[in-house]
Amino acid sequence: MTLQIVLPDTVRSGEAVPITLRLTNSDRKPATAYLQGRPTAFDVIVTRRDGTPVWRRLEGAVVPAVLQVRSLAPGAVLEFHDTWPQRTNLGAAVGPGDYLVTGVLPTDPPAELRTRPARLRILP
Site residues for another protein per CB under 8 A: 34-39, 41, 43, 45, 56, 58, 60-72, 104, 106-112
At closest approach, how far in Å is the CB of 40 from another protein? Answer: 9
User: Which residues have CB under 8 Å from 90's CB, separation 6+?
Assistant: none
**Distance separating alpha carbons of residues 35 and 105, to the nearest angstrom:** 8
Q: What's the burial of 20, exposed, middle or buried (CB within 10 Å: 0-12/13-18/19+)?
A: middle
At closest approach, how far in Å is the CB of 96 from another protein? Answer: 26
At closest approach, how far in Å is the CB of 12 from another protein? Answer: 27
By beta-carbon proximity to another protein, the closer residue of 41 and 100 is 41
